[in-house]
Amino acid sequence: MKKVITYGTFDLIHRGHINILKRAKELGDHLTVAISSDEFNAGKGKKAYHDFEHRKLILEAIRYVDEVIPEHNWEQKIKDVQEHDIDVFVMGDDWEGKFDFLKDYCDVVYLPRTVGISTTKIKEDLGTVKDG
């Protein structure tokens, strides 16, 4: 069985999230999604609309997702890859090169983002995020 992992906040699920989850799942047989814990988001200065448990519940309902785990810090990725027997690490191409250190442990794939949609754009369109 070929196992894939991806990471993110996955707040305000939109078609871009679904596209990346679908394409990630197509790279293997099992997709694990590591989502930022509320504490990790706070440490990054981010606040998700949905708390961790709600984001986890939503992701678990998506047919491409086989398992959801918490991301507590930036450094846990090598441990996750090893403990979950991951073959492929997937991230959006806006992170290109940032996770190449994982190539010692698994394949690393950067997928193109869906043009015209992001959680930040949704928040901006709703007037909840200020420009600049």
Closest by alpha carbon to 78, among 111, 96, 101, 44?
A: 101
Q: Which of 22, 46, 47, 98 is catalytic?
A: 46
Active site residue 25: no
Q: Which is catalytic among the residues 2, 22, 44, 98? A: 44
Q: Please tell me the distance from the alpha carbon of residue 105 to that of residue 85, in angstroms, as a whole number.
A: 9
Is residue 46 among the annotated active site residues? yes
Half-sphere exposure of 58 (CA within 13 A, CB side): 17
Task: Measure the CA angle with vertex 107, ends 106 and 111; round to 5°.
Answer: 135
C-alpha torsion sign, points 92, 96, 99, 100 = positive
The catalytic residue positions are 44, 46
